[in-house]
Structure 1
Amino acid sequence: MDALEVMMHKERTYPLFQPIFVAGKHEVVGYEVLPRLRIEEHEYDLTDFFYDSLVPEEYRLEIDRYIRKQALEIQKTRAHMWLFYNINPSLYDGSPGDRLISELAEESTEMILSISLSDETVKWYTLRHFVQFLQNSQIRVAMKETKNAKITMMDIVQVKPDIIKIDIGDVERENVNVHRELLHTFSIAAGKIGASLLFQNIKGFQQLSDAWRQGALYLQGDYLALPHPTMIDNNQEKLVKNFRSFLNYEREKKRASLQFSRFLSERMKKLISGRVVHMDSDTLAQYVGRSLQDICFRVYICDGEGFQLSGNAVKHQSDQWEIYEENRRQNWSWRPFFLENIVQMHVDGGGILSELYMDLHRHEQIRTYSYPAGDGRYIFVDIPFSYLYERDFLG
């Protein structure tokens, strides 16, 4: 929209409020302020207006302040609620930032400032001093990821925000499984620096489920509540119902995994006994593979330091097993949880079933069952997704 047209209709700009829910209590904890302009029957989203470098800064600051004052006035009716307010940090360098801090101090309100990159601010690390300035003024800061400005682990470490806002809508637009792994990485990184995760743009049941599984403290999106001119408080029952469904599903998954792990353990005990001590590692891998060929497609043997002692015993479509040499002497200790699992198997004497993960060779999700051979060697049995998919709660 033309900047002059926005300025001419300044009195028709206003905020909408989209509720943000806190996962622990299943209730609204605050609202994101969304800038709008209405001309006749048309409502316009003004978000891009504030990030358009062709629009004079004084125009953008004037409209931003006008909408913010309206939001703060409405917020007085719900004084215990937070406001998540989006700002273009490039507009608040120097004296505009000082005025913003003074205004918020006078209001004595809980406002969380959400920042994201723009054409004027293209690198996150350039904002770390601005973020520290806000935090030193007792204002919490949220880092907002956008489609064109992703957040990396280094960005999080350098900026150290209080909240990380992730657009979970990207899960539907990109490789779903890879994106979920990235979400998990964000969850770990946030925990390391003491930040909370806010998953926004939740538009359906599956996206809410993904957010819940990744440890989101805050949840937002049209699936939970639409933006509204007033601060509505609803959908607590919907959230509780969905979370109960997630819990039931996860409980069944855990139960199925434990039962499957016990089943594999019993079969491995019958296979191993004392007969494998005199087998070389290639023979052992092929022996286990042929004995479990109804379940697995690949078997290999490692020592306690993570070095692969055997080649990969791989099943062909004809049910013939062949040894492939490419990973012999490969060390797998760099894998997450690998050494932890080795130690656990050594201490407990039992097997471990992994979660689903992406196999680099097959480009599909698999699970691995690992089991101690009892002579310092460890057996790794790779199970294809086709087998897991046919069994409830394993795939």
Structure 2
Amino acid sequence: MMRDLFPWYQPIVETASGRIAGYEALARQKNEVGDVVSAGAFFSDSKHSLENRIAADRSVRYQALSGLNELPGDSFISLNLSPEWLQFIAQTTRLPTLDMLRELDADPSRVMIEITELGGDLGLIQKAVDRYREAGFRIAIDDFGADFSQLDRVALLTPDVVKLDMKLLRDGLDNPRNAAMIQLLGEMASRLGAKVLCEGVETEEAYFLALSCNAYYTQVFLFSEAKAEAAPTECFKSQMISLREDYRDRALDSSMRNHWLAGKVSAELIALRELIKTSESAYGEIDLEHYLPTPQVLRFYLCDRSGNQISPNYENRQGSWNVDNAQRGSNWSWRPYFIELLASDDIDRRLVFSKPYHDIYAGQLSQTAALLIDDDRILLADMIINPPDRDLIYSHHGMQAQSVAVY
């Protein structure tokens, strides 16, 4: 059976250059009518003994590595390894893949070991990963985000590359919350020191989402599925440049709208600040009878410079105001936007926005804006973000955390 299995190569494209940086070797076989299909069913079929599956896997691995020296000198091969395999390796003195490379006179630094899941004995997996790394291999974790209980394992294994779960990428195209989740995973992977790889990129919109997740690499099925021969490294470069330019133009348009929106918010909050200064009673009550906010304003409240909330929440209820004292006395000094405002050299002329978030009460994408009222008080306002319909870039980026000068 193992002679019937063979590798095909899925290109891994580097975002910055548009070149193919590496190839994932995927096991293939022919079905009853001679069509080439995935061999995944063979490896998951318990009818085949573990020993036979390991032998078949090593056969495919050897075939893939046999062509490594024929690839451009800076490209790499990515090989999938199951934790079952790794646990065997951890208990032996040999690394079969390293033995293959020595036989083929190939460089281990051009091979990425891709761990397909993180179940099993973590101690044994870590021991095997450490041995591969010491031998010069790169390490990747597949399906990052598929199981959030395993995030601590990713931090422990310190992979060179993290592959974001393909299902999350697809789901993110239709659901802003899923998009936010996968963007957060991309940010988390980068902060852990790993390069982000997005696989399963089948459309332009999926590619744009991948870029918003800080994808260093992509596997772009949009251009090519796995093939019997490794594609030339420059073959997708013109398409990738075109996609990057399209993304840049759309992101630039989004950023320009962000600046326009920030200006609009600034004008409204400056007007509110002046109203607070001039209409506040001796008892600290604000006369809002003649102040009609835009629907974008969810609520506002006042804090002292220590972050203590010294006013009720003034809730916008379809153009009328509801006073809610539940949060009075809360402290918001730990919020990043609050600290950013206090740290500004021009605090009296600075408006600071938080990162986008989903407001718990309104259930909508929102941001908080912070503006100095006077030497003792700060105005905080929760604002709804209304991205244009069907604008993927804007939906993914929102009006990001920023600060703007106001006059």
Pair 1:91 & 2:92 matched = no
- C-alpha contact (below 8 Å) 1:307/1:330 kept by paired residues: yes
After superposition, the Cα gap between the structure-2 partners of 1:348 and 1:41, relative to the gap in structure 1 and judged at 3 Å, is farther
- C-alpha contact (below 8 Å) 1:125/1:159 kept by paired residues: no
CA–CA distance in structure 1, aligned partners of residues 292 and 348 of structure 2:
24
1:220-239 equivalences in 2 (<5 Å): 220-233=219-232, 234-239=235-240
- C-alpha contact (below 8 Å) 1:289/1:298 kept by paired residues: no
- C-alpha contact (below 8 Å) 1:117/1:123 kept by paired residues: no
Counterpart secondary structure, 1:138:
coil
CA drift at 1:365: 0.8
Q: Which moved more, 1:14-23 or 1:190-199?
A: 190-199
Q: Which residue of 2 aligns with 1:23?
A: 15
Pair 1:58 & 2:51 matched = yes
After superposition, the Cα gap between the structure-2 partners of 1:65 and 1:274, relative to the gap in structure 1 and judged at 3 Å, is closer
Q: Which residue of 1 aligns with 2:142?
A: 144
- C-alpha contact (below 8 Å) 1:345/1:371 kept by paired residues: no
CA drift at 1:182: 2.9
CA–CA distance in structure 1, aligned partners of residues 101 and 363 of structure 2:
51
CA–CA distance in structure 1, aligned partners of residues 289 and 248 of structure 2:
36
CA–CA distance in structure 1, aligned partners of residues 290 and 72 of structure 2:
65
After superposition, the Cα gap between the structure-2 partners of 1:364 and 1:102, relative to the gap in structure 1 and judged at 3 Å, is same
After superposition, the Cα gap between the structure-2 partners of 1:142 and 1:31, relative to the gap in structure 1 and judged at 3 Å, is same
1:101-112 equivalences in 2 (<5 Å): 101-107=98-104, 108-109=106-107, 110-112=110-112
1:219-252: CA deviations, max 9, x gaps? 1131142111101132222211111111112212
- C-alpha contact (below 8 Å) 2:372/2:379 kept by paired residues: yes
Q: Could you tell me which of 28, 31, 43 is aligned with 2:36? A: 43
After superposition, the Cα gap between the structure-2 partners of 1:328 and 1:275, relative to the gap in structure 1 and judged at 3 Å, is closer
After superposition, the Cα gap between the structure-2 partners of 1:291 and 1:147, relative to the gap in structure 1 and judged at 3 Å, is closer
Under a length normalisation based on structure 2, what TM-score does the superposition of the two structures give? 0.83
- C-alpha contact (below 8 Å) 2:296/2:385 kept by paired residues: no
Q: Which residue of 2 aligns with 1:360?
A: 360
Counterpart secondary structure, 1:179:
helix
Counterpart secondary structure, 1:104:
helix
Q: Which residue of 2 aligns with 1:33?
A: 25
Aligned-residue RMSD, C-alpha: 3.1
Q: Which residue of 1 aligns with 2:344?
A: 344
After superposition, the Cα gap between the structure-2 partners of 1:283 and 1:57, relative to the gap in structure 1 and judged at 3 Å, is same
Counterpart secondary structure, 1:64:
helix
Q: Which moved more, 1:266-275 or 1:40-49?
A: 266-275
After superposition, the Cα gap between the structure-2 partners of 1:124 and 1:300, relative to the gap in structure 1 and judged at 3 Å, is farther
Identity, % of aligned positions: 19
- C-alpha contact (below 8 Å) 1:372/1:378 kept by paired residues: yes
Q: Which residue of 1 aligns with 2:113?
A: 113
CA drift at 1:29: 0.4
Counterpart secondary structure, 1:332:
coil
- C-alpha contact (below 8 Å) 2:341/2:371 kept by paired residues: no
Residue type of the alignment partner of 2:208 = S
CA–CA distance in structure 2, aligned partners of residues 321 and 293 of structure 1:
12
Please, which runs of 5 or more residues in structure 1 have no aligned partner? 1-6
After superposition, the Cα gap between the structure-2 partners of 1:79 and 1:261, relative to the gap in structure 1 and judged at 3 Å, is closer
CA–CA distance in structure 1, aligned partners of residues 362 and 179 of structure 2:
19
CA–CA distance in structure 1, aligned partners of residues 371 and 251 of structure 2:
25
Q: List, as ranges, runs of 4+ consecutive aligned residues in structure 1 with deviation greater than 6 Å.
A: none
- C-alpha contact (below 8 Å) 2:62/2:100 kept by paired residues: no
Please, which runs of 5 or more residues in structure 2 have no aligned partner? 400-407
